[in-house]
């Protein structure tokens, strides 16, 4: 018995040391959180303030525990691999005067060096990668440091295995079969990822909505976005399209319902689901006619669309408060290297293909996930949304400099270039599966983006001369109705293959339209009846150039701003603003969903701006008055047309605002 214990102890020598080293590597990797609390303060504070129960009693607590266990497992597995190499090296090189522990240290340090260099090479924004960009990109012996180090590691591993083969080491008798199995598994995974099932063509056309977050119409050109520009060039492109509310969730609810946010109640992000009354949505109505419906998005923190909106399938990161915290803790060099693989999808389901974790986000991973998980039989309705152009305008391999007011436009356009590639790859994946052999495809942006440029705001039309307030409203989206680049969006509709007769010609339409028009348009194109009353109207007369289109030129469209805490901007926030914002939300302990506190909605809405846009270009806006009586001040921006009627237009827009939003406007 003693001999067995001694033999076992001898065989496991160094295992304790490697476990300590692996855990130490994990702790050092996470130590950056202690020196970078500013970047996590908002998410952590929101969650802490929103909790009504101790963290360990919540669903979020379970998710965080599983996430940390996965991180620990990855680092221990790395340590075990180093230990196995140390054991094998000791056995095949018995003449070298090194103890088992020394070999463990050698392989661990070699492995860590490679991991750190690889992380800095492939994850340019990671906390332990960004500081070493200059060293990693420097040329060493005519090549990069990563290539040189990877070569050294591979040579060392090869040398050990060759020596083991010569010595006929017992450990290697299983190496051949195991290597073959691993190779076959890897090949099967690659094939499964790149070649999903094709679907047969049926009589009813597929309906595909491809949304792109924060995409300004003026950013779409052959140089910046060639794939999107090519699509729009062969589609019916609507050049004067607005969103009813420049935030992702309210905008998409309007797309799916054909209704204004104040009709459905979807007036802001993170509302409790029971407060939103959509009626029958477009996917639900299509499902009644034999369609299978799916929704895909790579960012769910603030846009909580799910199966309750009529979808049979959702392809996205998990919805909930865990997403706010996990993406902050996911930046370790070792986990980064596997995050975009099938192992990462298995171990880190909240982070894999998640745009919120921009440090590790690879746009290709989301396309692969859609292609891998899309589970439809014909006909199908797919709504997919790509969020890459949203702040912070970066991803794993982005090489652009840090954001500043001076380079905001350049960084934004570089992000648009990358999402254009992602869009092109997704379109090709759908084409390979035969989905586009009979399909109507809609490309849209949920809202635009203001970048602090002079033409991003209409200061002469805004009476508030508070420069700090005006400066804030020149950035982002949903911050002001006086920033057209925030609420003007991209919209194009095209038919493919057997559905080509539905939209026989490409063209450009300049009539004023809105995203609320999409649901009635699709039903009209397909010839399907609707049992709902829409706020939008069918665009088929514009698409086919048939029928009376004068109603479009004369219509009044609406848009509004959303919740914008005082003290926030794209690149900074104050402690007082942080504390105020955190008190607005609550977290459900059982579902992990973060929602706006119902008792805070009225105060949130009190700072909102509303606008009505007339077909001739005139704008009427209502902004909160200086008094606390809930009244609004009316601002009129006249049309530049020579035949305008300022008095009549102003009165009509004022009345439209009152009727649509139910607000009192001061004389």
Instruction: Flag whether 576 is in a domain.
Output: no
Cα within 13 Å of Cα(407), Cβ side = 10
**Do 184 and 215 sit in the same domain of this protein?**
no
Pairing of strands 380-386, 292-297: parallel
Instruction: Flag whether 656 is in a domain.
Output: no
**Do 159 and 235 sit in the same domain of this protein?**
no
Bigger pLDDT: 63 or 513?
A: 513
Specify the number of domains making up the chain: 2
* 297-322: b (≥16 Cβ within 10 Å) or e: bbbbbbbbbeeebbbbbbbbbebbbb
Can you tell me the mean pLDDT for 181-203?
Answer: 51
Instruction: Flag whether 463 is in a domain.
Output: yes
Share of the chain above pLDDT 70, in %: 83
At 383, is the pLDDT very low, low, confident or very high (cuts 50, 70, 90)? very high
Q: Which of 465, 270, 541, 255 is closest to 381 using CA atoms?
A: 255
**Do 449 and 313 sit in the same domain of this protein?**
yes
pLDDT per residue as tens digits for the range 515-533: 999 999 999 999 998 877 8
Instruction: Flag whether 625 is in a domain.
Output: no
pLDDT per residue as tens digits for the range 322-356: 777 777 778 899 999 999 998 999 999 899 999 99
Q: Which of 152, 167, 194 is the last residue of a domain?
A: 194
The listed range with the strongest mean pLDDT (114-128, 297-311, 640-654) is 297-311
Residue 328 is classified by DSSP as H
Which position has the token pair 């970078």? 36
**Do 260 and 280 sit in the same domain of this protein?**
yes
**Alpha helices in 279-341, H assignment, sequence order:** 282-287, 322-329, 333-339
Q: Which of 161, 194, 227 is the last residue of a domain?
A: 194
Instruction: Flag whether 629 is in a domain.
Output: no
pLDDT of the residue at 191: 46
pLDDT of the residue at 6: 58
Taking residue 419's Cβ as centre, other Cβ atoms within 10 Å add up to 24
Please state, in angstroms and as integers, the Cα–Cα distance from residue 458 to each residue in 482, 484, 619, 646, following that order. 6, 8, 11, 18
Kindly report each contact of residues 616-619 with a partner whose C-beta sits within 8 Å and lies 24 or more positions away, as own/partner. Answer: 616/553, 616/641, 616/644, 616/649, 617/641, 618/644, 618/646, 618/649, 618/650, 618/653, 619/461, 619/653
pLDDT of the residue at 190: 44
Bigger pLDDT: 202 or 659?
A: 659
Is residue 520 within 8 Å of residue 536, measured between CB atoms?
A: yes
pLDDT of the residue at 155: 87
**Do 185 and 249 sit in the same domain of this protein?**
no
Q: Which of 136, 160, 194 is the last residue of a domain?
A: 194
pLDDT per residue as tens digits for the range 452-473: 887 777 755 555 555 555 666 7
**Do 223 and 181 sit in the same domain of this protein?**
no
**Do 210 and 94 sit in the same domain of this protein?**
no
Which position has the token pair 């070649």? 195
What value, to the nearest 5°, has the Cα angle with vertex 612 and ends 610 and 617?
A: 135
**Do 148 and 221 sit in the same domain of this protein?**
no
pLDDT per residue as tens digits for the range 239-280: 999 999 999 999 999 999 999 999 999 999 999 999 999 999
Is residue 228 within 8 Å of residue 404, measured between CB atoms?
A: no
Instruction: Flag whether 15 is in a domain.
Output: yes
Instruction: Flag whether 22 is in a domain.
Output: yes
At 182, is the pLDDT very low, low, confident or very high (cuts 50, 70, 90)? low
**Do 153 and 286 sit in the same domain of this protein?**
no
Is the peptide bond prior to 334 cis by the omega test (within 30 degrees of 0)?
Answer: no
Bigger pLDDT: 512 or 151?
A: 512
How many Å is the maximal CA-CA distance in the chain?
103
**Do 517 and 404 sit in the same domain of this protein?**
yes
Share of the chain above pLDDT 90, in %: 50
pLDDT of the residue at 173: 53
**Do 180 and 306 sit in the same domain of this protein?**
no
Instruction: Flag whether 42 is in a domain.
Output: yes
Given a cut of 60, is residue 186 above it in pLDDT? Answer: no
At 88, is the pLDDT very low, low, confident or very high (cuts 50, 70, 90)? confident
**Do 377 and 256 sit in the same domain of this protein?**
yes
CATH number of the domain to which 423 belongs:
3.40.720.10
Taken in order 126, 127, 129, 135, the sign of the CA dihedral is positive
At 195, is the pLDDT very low, low, confident or very high (cuts 50, 70, 90)? very low
Domain that holds residue 267: 206-317+353-562
Can you tell me the mean pLDDT for 190-205?
Answer: 56
213-227, 315-329, 536-550, 578-592: least confident range: 578-592
Can you tell me the mean pLDDT for 365-383?
Answer: 91
**Mean of all residue pLDDT scores within the chain:** 84
Backbone angles phi, psi at 414, to 5 degrees: -65, -35
Give the span between the Cα atoms of 582 and 104, in whole angstroms. 47
What value, to the nearest 5°, has the Cα angle with vertex 19 and ends 17 and 22?
A: 110
Beta-strand ranges (E) seen in 76-165 are 139-140, 143-144
């Amino acid at each position: 018995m003693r001999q067995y214990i001694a033999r076992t102890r001898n065989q496991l020598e160094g295992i304790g040391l490697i476990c300590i080293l692996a855990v130490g590597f994990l702790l050092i990797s996470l130590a950056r959180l202690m020196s970078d609390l500013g970047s996590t303060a908002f998410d952590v504070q929101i969650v802490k303030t929103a909790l009504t129960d101790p963290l360990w009693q919540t669903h979020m607590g379970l998710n965080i525990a599983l996430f940390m266990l996965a991180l620990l497992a990855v680092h221990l597995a790395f340590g075990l691999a180093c230990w196995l190499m140390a054991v094998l090296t000791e056995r095949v090189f018995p003449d070298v005067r090194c103890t088992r522990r020394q070999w463990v240290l050698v392989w661990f340090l070699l492995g860590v060096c490679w991991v750190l260099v690889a992380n800095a090479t492939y994850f340019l924004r990671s906390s332990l990668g960004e500081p070493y960009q200059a060293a990693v990109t420097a040329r060493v012996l005519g090549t990069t440091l990563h290539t040189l180090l990877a070569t050294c590691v591979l040579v060392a591993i090869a040398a050990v295995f060759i020596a083991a083969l010569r010595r006929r080491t017992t450990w290697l008798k299983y190496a051949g079969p195991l290597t073959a199995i691993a190779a076959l598994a890897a090949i099967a995974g690659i094939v499964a990822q790149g070649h999903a099932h094709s679907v047969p063509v049926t009589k009813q056309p597929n309906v595909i909505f491809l949304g792109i977050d924060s995409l300004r119409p003026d950013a779409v050109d052959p140089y910046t976005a060639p794939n999107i520009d090519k699509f729009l060039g062969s589609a019916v492109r609507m050049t004067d399209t607005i969103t009813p509310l420049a935030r992702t969730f309210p905008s998409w609810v309007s797309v799916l319902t054909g209704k204004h946010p104040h009709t459905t109640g979807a007036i802001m992000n993170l509302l409790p689901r029971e407060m939103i009354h959509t009626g029958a949505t477009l996917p639900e109505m299509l499902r009644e006619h034999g369609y299978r419906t799916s929704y895909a998005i790579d960012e769910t923190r603030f846009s909580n669309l799910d199966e309750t909106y009529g979808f049979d399938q959702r392809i996205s990161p998990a919805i909930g408060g865990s997403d706010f915290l996990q993406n902050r803790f996911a930046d370790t060099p070792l986990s980064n290297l596997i995050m975009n693989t099938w192992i990462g999808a298995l171990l880190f389901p909240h982070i894999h293909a998640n745009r919120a974790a921009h440090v590790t986000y690879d746009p290709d991973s989301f396309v692969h996930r859609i292609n891998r998980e899309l589970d439809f039989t014909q006909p199908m309705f797919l709504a997919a949304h790509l969020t890459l152009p949203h702040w912070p305008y970066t991803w794993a391999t982005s090489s652009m400099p840090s954001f500043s007011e001076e380079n905001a436009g350049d960084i934004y356009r570089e992000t648009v270039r990358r999402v254009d590639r992602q869009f092109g790859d997704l379109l090709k994946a759908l084409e390979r599966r035969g989905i586009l052999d009979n399909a109507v495809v809609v490309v849209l942006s949920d809202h635009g983006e203001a970048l602090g440029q002079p033409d991003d705001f209409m200061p002469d039309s805004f009476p508030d001369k508070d420069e700090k307030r005006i400066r804030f409203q020149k950035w982002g989206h949903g911050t002001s109705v006086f920033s057209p680049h925030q609420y003007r969006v991209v919209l194009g509709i095209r038919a493919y293959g057997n559905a080509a007769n539905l939209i026989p010609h490409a063209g450009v339409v300049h009539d004023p339209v809105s995203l609320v028009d999409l649901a009635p348009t699709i039903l009209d194109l397909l010839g399907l009846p609707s049992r709902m009353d829409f706020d939008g109207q069918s665009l088929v007369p514009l698409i086919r150039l048939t029928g009376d289109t004068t109603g479009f030129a004369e219509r009044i469209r609406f848009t509004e701003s959303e919740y914008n805490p005082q003290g926030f901007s794209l690149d900074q926030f104050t402690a007082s603003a942080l504390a105020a914002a955190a008190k607005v939300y609550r977290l459900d302990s059982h579902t992990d969903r973060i929602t706006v506190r119902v008792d805070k909605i009225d105060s949130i809405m009190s700072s909102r701006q509303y606008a009505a846009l007339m077909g001739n270009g005139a704008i009427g806006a209502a902004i909160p008055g200086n008094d606390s009586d809930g009244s609004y001040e009316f601002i009129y921006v006249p049309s530049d047309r020579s035949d305008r009627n300022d008095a009549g237009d102003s009165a009509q827009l004022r009345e439209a605002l009152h009727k649509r939003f139910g607000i009192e406007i001061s004389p």
